[in-house]
């Protein structure tokens, strides 16, 4: 078990390299059922954004640990009527054992964590998506074994997934290349955090050249070109992002044993083609399944399950 009991996970930067590797090992053991843990606690899900994989995987993970889940839909709570975040946080702290929050602003998440004594998990903000990237790392580890020295190229929008990939890859000793159009770069503070973690031991490249970034890599990764809350911009982005589509030509530049990842939902024909996402090198469905296993490992660690 990792020494995370009682802590928050607001960013991958909250974890050490050793803690990431221990979480991945715990997830592997739970997935294989070599280890079974029990934790009769209550998880609250406070989601202000739509969710399929995150909501379902957290719910199933908590049930499989022997706990319970309360879905705190903001539309049917006082949050939707303007109750201050700090008031909601202090009340939920009295009822729940742990809280997963999916919201827009990272600052709102941090306010919850400041006022709640129970562990708070970032289930997605506009800045980061740490649980997704833990599942990504587990998937890559299953395919290649040791993560150290592998190279991942992310093509598309410099969004929350790109930010968390920068941190996650740096933590496990992977090279990471982010290929994006001008003006859509990942968060500059996160880039510097990743460089500090890497300390020059791994490659961290931000480039506009998708083809050069894809050459010889082990993992090609993409996400939608317009994230939640940016839907009105989607049609304007299409011509800008077209050179960053993962298709047979781009995949052909990667290593022959390369895998393809997408955090879903996917817009087939936009950021990824039907042929690639359904092709033999796609590990998208394993990646989606692994959300369950890493989140079970995270819940077990934060709650001190036995």
**Catalytic annotation, residues:** 102, 129, 132, 223, 263, 291
Cis peptide leading into residue 265 (ω within 30°): yes
**CA dihedral for 144, 213, 220, 259, sign (positive or negative):** negative
| Long-range Cβ pairs for the range 245-249 (8 Å, 24+) | 245/155, 245/270, 245/271, 245/272, 245/273, 246/155, 246/220, 246/222, 246/271, 246/272, 246/273, 246/276, 247/272, 247/273, 247/275, 247/276, 248/273, 248/275, 248/276
C-alpha pair distances (Å), 46 with each of 89, 92, 101, 121, 216 = 11, 10, 5, 10, 41
The alpha-helical segments, DSSP class H, found in 33-154 are: 53-64, 85-95, 106-115, 130-144
Q: Which residue has the tokens 């990939």?
A: 165
Cα-trace Rg, the chain: 19
Query: What is the distance between the alpha carbons of residues 99 and 50, in angstroms, rounded to a whole number?
Result: 17
Backbone φ and ψ for 69, nearest 5 degrees, come out as: -130, 135
> How does DSSP assign 82-110, residue by residue?
T--HHHHHHHHHHH-SEEEEE-S-HHHHH
Question: Shortest CA distance to 217 belongs to which of 171, 184, 249, 256?
Answer: 256
């Amino acid at each position: 078990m990792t020494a995370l009991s009682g802590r928050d996970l607001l960013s991958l930067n909250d974890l050490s390299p050793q803690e990431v590797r221990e979480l991945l090992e715990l997830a592997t053991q739970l997935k294989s059922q070599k280890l079974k843990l029990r934790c009769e606690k209550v998880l609250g899900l406070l989601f202000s954004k739509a969710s399929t994989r995150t909501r379902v995987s957290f719910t199933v993970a908590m049930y499989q640990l022997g706990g319970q889940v309360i879905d705190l839909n903001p539309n049917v709570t006082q949050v939707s009527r303007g109750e201050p975040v700090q008031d909601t946080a202090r009340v939920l702290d009295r009822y729940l054992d742990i809280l997963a929050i999916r919201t827009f602003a990272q600052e709102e998440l941090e306010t919850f964590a400041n006022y709640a004594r129970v562990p708070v998990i970032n289930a997605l903000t506009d800045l980061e998506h740490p649980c997704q990237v833990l599942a990504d790392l587990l998937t890559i580890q299953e395919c290649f074994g040791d993560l150290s020295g592998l190279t991942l190229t992310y093509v598309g929008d410099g969004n929350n997934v790109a930010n968390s990939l920068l941190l996650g890859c740096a933590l496990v000793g992977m090279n990471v290349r982010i290929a994006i159009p001008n003006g859509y770069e990942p968060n500059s503070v996160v880039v510097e955090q990743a460089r500090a973690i890497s300390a020059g031991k791994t490659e961290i490249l931000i480039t506009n050249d998708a083809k050069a970034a894809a050459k010889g890599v082990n993992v090609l990764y993409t996400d939608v070109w317009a994230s939640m809350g940016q839907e009105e911009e989607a049609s304007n982005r299409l011509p800008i992002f077209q050179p960053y589509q993962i298709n047979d030509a781009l995949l052909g530049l990667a290593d022959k044993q390369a895998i393809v990842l997408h955090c879903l939902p996917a817009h087939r024909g936009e950021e990824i083609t039907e042929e690639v996402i359904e092709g033999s090198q796609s590990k998208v469905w394993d990646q989606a399944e692994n959300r369950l296993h890493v989140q079970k490992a995270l819940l077990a660690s934060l709650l001190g399950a036995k």
